[in-house]
Structure 1
Amino acid sequence: MKKTLYVMLVLGFVTLNSIAQEINWVTFEEALELQRKTPKKIMMDVYTSWCPPCKALDKNTFHNEDVSNYVNEHYYAVKFDGEGNDVISYNGGEFTNPNYDPAKANRRNSPHQLAGYLQISAYPTIVFFDETGNVIAPIKGYQTPPQIELYLKLFKENHYKTIDSQEKFSAYAKAFKPEFKS
């Protein structure tokens, strides 16, 4: 009986702990609407269903407690399938994937028009937007929690506005002391 109770308590703790580490994902349109009421930057995870680094980013980085807590507090988080079939309104335009093939839903598909507009050339790419929905920068590739922390804080604290060269970014990155646990 004690062993069963112990297992139930451990499973309950693990479940609660997992819930606490979830990022509050919204659609792009929802994030833009939320910005109108309460301005915050947007962090968009551009992924595909077939991409192993995208899955690793989701599992290892976005489920990290430090990352999820920081993102939930300071950003609107958006998941966007770069080869998906959603219709998205942005900057006065409507973006679709006119060549989407449902038979290829879990394989390479044609790129979504918004991915092209945002100049996404690799998956995963994390695109950061300012408080008015304008693109700040796309960050290509898998990021560990300490690596993404640099960008989350760089953009949240507006340090990017004073970095106008690779040398200044390198100096910023070298001086940056990550606090997020891996």
Structure 2
Amino acid sequence: MKTGTFSDLETLMEKDPKPVIIHLYTDWCSVCKMEKYNLNKDKEAVDLINEKFYLVNFEAEKTKEKIQFQGRDFKYLQNGNSGIHELALALSRNKDQPVYPLWIVLDKDQKLVYYHEGMLKPETMKQKLMEISAL
């Protein structure tokens, strides 16, 4: 699956506007690992994402660089030995502790069209992404 970064996104959107999938996860999340494995096995879902969307995989607790997104700067918030990225909190509806995995889909105008906390099965994802790509 082709993935990009938030810094790539602005340039890509200027050249070829497409809906954006933001996948928030953490290294310690076992559900995230199972979900990624199942999704990568589904060729139809992978092809759909690669053709019609930009995908940003975002490790919410290990990404430490400053990120500019939708005209704002977000930074890593250190908390003892760990921390969380400010952007993960901004994207999550649960402001105290985001639920992982978290899937956010924005249309080509950067408006929220889909939000899903927790495990997302490839079949459900394909159905939602086909609806979104038809918009």
TM-score, normalised with respect to structure 1: 0.66
Q: Deviations over 1:38-64 (max 9, x none)?
A: 011011111001000111111111342
Equivalent pair of 1:26/1:76 in contact (CA under 8 Å):
yes
Post-superposition offset of 1:83: 1.5
Equivalent pair of 2:39/2:122 in contact (CA under 8 Å):
yes
Q: Which residue of 2 aligns with 1:74?
A: 52
Question: Quick check: which has more Rg, 1 or 2?
Answer: 1
Cα distance in 1 for partners of 2:79, 2:5 equals 19
Q: Which residue of 2 aligns with 1:142?
A: 119
Equivalent pair of 2:22/2:55 in contact (CA under 8 Å):
yes
- Tell me whether 1:93 sits opposite 2:72 in the alignment: yes
Q: Which residue of 1 aligns with 2:83?
A: 110
Higher RCO (CA < 8 A, seq sep 6+):
2
Unmatched runs of 5 consecutive residues or more in structure 1 = 1-22, 104-108, 159-182
Q: Which residue of 1 aligns with 2:36?
A: 58
Aligned residues: 130
Q: Deviations over 1:101-147 (max 9, x none)?
A: 6x5xxxxx422110111125300011101112233232111122111
Q: Deviations over 1:51-107 (max 9, x none)?
A: 001111111113421111110000011100111213210122111113166x5xxxx
Cα distance in 2 for partners of 1:32, 1:133 equals 11
Equivalent pair of 1:83/1:100 in contact (CA under 8 Å):
no
Q: Percent identity?
A: 25
Cα distance in 1 for partners of 2:67, 2:85 equals 10
Larger relative strand fraction: 2
TM-score, normalised with respect to structure 2: 0.87
Equivalent pair of 1:31/1:77 in contact (CA under 8 Å):
no
Cα distance in 1 for partners of 2:16, 2:79 equals 34
What is the one-letter code of the residue matched to 1:112?
H
How well do the aligned residues superpose, as a CA RMSD in angstroms?
Answer: 1.7
What is the one-letter code of the residue matched to 2:92?
Q
